[in-house]
Amino acid sequence: MTATSPAAPGAPAPAAAPGALPASKPRGMFVRGLEVFLENKLAIAGTVLLVLIFAFCFIGPLVYHTDQIHVNLANENLAPGPGHPLGTDQNGYDILGRLMVGGQVSLEVGLAAAVLATVVGTLWGAVAGYFGGAVDAVMMRLVDALLAIPTLFLALVVVSMFPPTQTELIIVIALTSWLTTSRLIRGEALSLRVRDYVQAMRVMGGGSARAVFRHIAPNSIGTIIVNATFQVADAILLVVALSYLGLGIRPPQTDWGGMLNAGINSVYDGYWWQIFPAGIAIILVVVAINFIGDAMRDSFEVRLQQR
């Protein structure tokens, strides 16, 4: 490690213990992690790609105005050409504009569901792992049972019972995908709860809630962040699958899965522009997120090796 790279301002800089390595300035784990992350070319490519896709979906409609509300049958199934760079669908909607609007929904649902799933999974796993014993056994058997039901099947049953709005869809996806997170965090909690600093805090009179929220969860942050990244990709794939099956986002709203659902009906007519844009958009987002997730895992592992 070279001492030339300055620590970022605002990084937590713990006081150097006496007798610590003299040359290396103690730096926060995020700074060290970021350095490793930035050395990874795929991670940079993934980040740039993701930023571009977000800009395309959220800033794009401000520049490229299209009518995504009124059906215009005069313009149905137009091939890509002047006025419609990616053609139109069977309702006459401009595909490029629809890709932006639909992308907003897919990305919003994916991100929000992943965050919610991570919060639920982290708390569930931390509590189970911290308390151990009977509490752990009961909580984790429930996780085992829910894991035995494939997420797609469980989510399909729930959305068929209660046709969801966008917010409710986020909740459904989150509530069916927090299980793996909780297992990982439980493992972390099992090893963290016997650490000296947690024991010391307990002796000083700290409660269980403090242990879970202030010690177990923050110290599992690496696992949590890496897992949350992959969760975003999984959540996006789940919401597009539900929409593709016609039970996710309801019309007139759409997302990339809904666009593919509409497109597959025209594939026999050879309207390729109705399936490829949305499909490629999904692949790009998921690949970008996987690159970022892989790089983050490397970053946090390096942090552990250096300790």
User: In the complex, which residues of this chain contact other proteins (CB under 8 A)?
Assistant: 141-142, 144-154, 156-162, 233, 237, 240-241, 244-247, 257, 260, 263-264, 267-268, 270, 272, 275-276, 278-279, 282-283, 286-287, 290
125 by Cβ neighbours in 10 Å (0-12 / 13-18 / 19+) ranks as buried
Shortest distance (Å) from residue 39 CB to other proteins:
16
- Taking the C-alpha atoms of residue 43 and residue 66, their distance in angstroms, rounded to an integer, is 33
At a CB cut-off of 8 Å and minimum separation 6, what does 166 contact?
105, 108, 109, 249, 253
Residue 127 Cα distances to 182, 196, 220, angstroms: 9, 18, 13
Shortest distance (Å) from residue 157 CB to other proteins:
5
DSSP state of 84: B
Tokens of residue 115, six digits: 């965050």
Shortest distance (Å) from residue 104 CB to other proteins:
18
Whether 220 and 114 have beta carbons less than 8 Å apart is answered as no
Shortest distance (Å) from residue 160 CB to other proteins:
4
Shortest distance (Å) from residue 278 CB to other proteins:
8
Q: Which is nearer to other proteins, 201 or 237 (CB)?
A: 237
Q: Which is nearer to other proteins, 33 or 258 (CB)?
A: 258
Q: Which is nearer to other proteins, 133 or 270 (CB)?
A: 270
Q: Which is nearer to other proteins, 228 or 281 (CB)?
A: 281
At a CB cut-off of 8 Å and minimum separation 6, what does 205 contact?
none
Q: Which is nearer to other proteins, 68 or 290 (CB)?
A: 290
- Taking the C-alpha atoms of residue 102 and residue 104, their distance in angstroms, rounded to an integer, is 5
* H-assigned helices in 78-210: 95-131, 133-148, 151-161, 166-176, 179-192, 196-203, 208-210
Give one word for 77, left, alpha or beta, with left for phi > 0 and alpha for psi -120 to 50.
Answer: left
Shortest distance (Å) from residue 44 CB to other proteins:
16
Shortest distance (Å) from residue 217 CB to other proteins:
26
Q: Which is nearer to other proteins, 209 or 283 (CB)?
A: 283
Tokens of residue 247, six digits: 């039970």
Q: Which is nearer to other proteins, 72 or 160 (CB)?
A: 160
